[in-house]
Amino acid sequence: MKPKFSPFMTTPLPCLLLFIIIFNISTTFVVADLVQKACKKCEIDDPNINYNFCTSSFRAHSGSDSTDLRKLGAISLSLIQRNLSSSFEYVEKLLQNKEIDSYKRVRLNDCLDVYSDAIVTVEEGKKAYKEKHYDDANIKVSAVMDSARVCEDGFREKEGVSSPLTKWNKDMFQLAAIALSIINMHP
């Protein structure tokens, strides 16, 4: 005689699946909560920070599902770093265009200098943050915010010239503002 199929044999699996689903939903909820909470606070602290920009920036980075504000702060610094490197590369690419006018070329080269200094500065800021030297970290990240402004303002000095880097500088400025806001929470 064949053993009869017992419906009870099948219960553990659906149960386990259900458990996994519920567990996942609840952790996702907790996780979303920290990014959301932190971004809400950033937005209140600094009107330059847009809540949606903040949450989507974090979500695009792996590890931001951490439930630790301190780790989120470290991620915010990495976000600036990545942004700066890609902005740097973008400017290099723009400069390869032979037809770019000489005024713009000078300004783009200035931005390249400013960005490469800022890349070093963020690295120093990361180190200070790791050591919980929040004042130093604050100074470094503020300097990065200035870099974005300096680069952008360079293009404003001549009438009729517009900055090809406005979006890049705005993103960088805002990412730095987010990092600054979290650093100032002394996580």
166 binds ligand NAG per the rule CB under 6 A: no
Task: Indicate which single residue of 55, 76, 87, 169 sits in contact with ligand NAG (rule: CB under 6 A).
Answer: 87
171 binds ligand NAG per the rule CB under 6 A: yes
Write out the DSSP string of 120-168. HHHHHHHHHHHTT-HHHHHHHHHHHHHHHHHHHHHGGGSTT---TTHHH
Q: Judge contact between 19 and 12, C-beta under 8 A.
A: no
Task: Indicate which single residue of 35, 38, 43, 57 sits in contact with ligand NAG (rule: CB under 6 A).
Answer: 57
**Identity of residue 22:** I
147 binds ligand NAG per the rule CB under 6 A: no
Residue 50 CB, shortest distance to ligand NAG, in Å, is 10
16 vs 60, beta carbon nearer ligand NAG: 60
21 vs 60, beta carbon nearer ligand NAG: 60
Q: Which of 143, 142, 82 shows the shortest CA–CA distance to 117?
A: 143
Handedness of CA 146, 148, 150, 152 (dihedral sign): negative
Question: Which residues would be at the binding site for ligand NAG (CB under 6 A)?
Answer: 57, 60, 83, 86-87, 168, 171, 175
